[in-house]
Amino acid sequence: MYELLIRDFINNMDEYTIKKFALKQGVELTEEETRTILIYLKNYWQVLYKGDPQEIFDEFKEKVRPIVYEKAMSLYQEAKKKINN
């Protein structure tokens, strides 16, 4: 059931939503970073949710600024803790 909710949420996500969320987290994204994040979320959400995303994060790290990568990792680790509890 959670997978369906996550899939629907991700499928309805757009660049505006990504930029707005990032600003709330204290990070201003470039247009390219915003597109990159959206593409990665839409293409790899299942791996991020259930799999081993290290390879994905290694690739992602090369496409965004360090501050964006660090914030993404922090938010991901926080979310994984909540999911696993």
Q: What is the pLDDT of residue 2?
A: 81
**Average pLDDT of the residues in 2-22:** 94
Burial of 25 (0-12, 13-18, 19+ CB in 10 A): middle
DSSP 77: H
**With a threshold of 0.85, does the pTM exceed it?**
yes
User: What pLDDT, in 10s, does the model give residues 37-79?
Assistant: 999 999 999 999 988 999 999 999 999 999 999 999 999 999 8
Q: What is the pLDDT of residue 51?
A: 87
Q: Copy the structure tokens of residue 37.
A: 């994040």
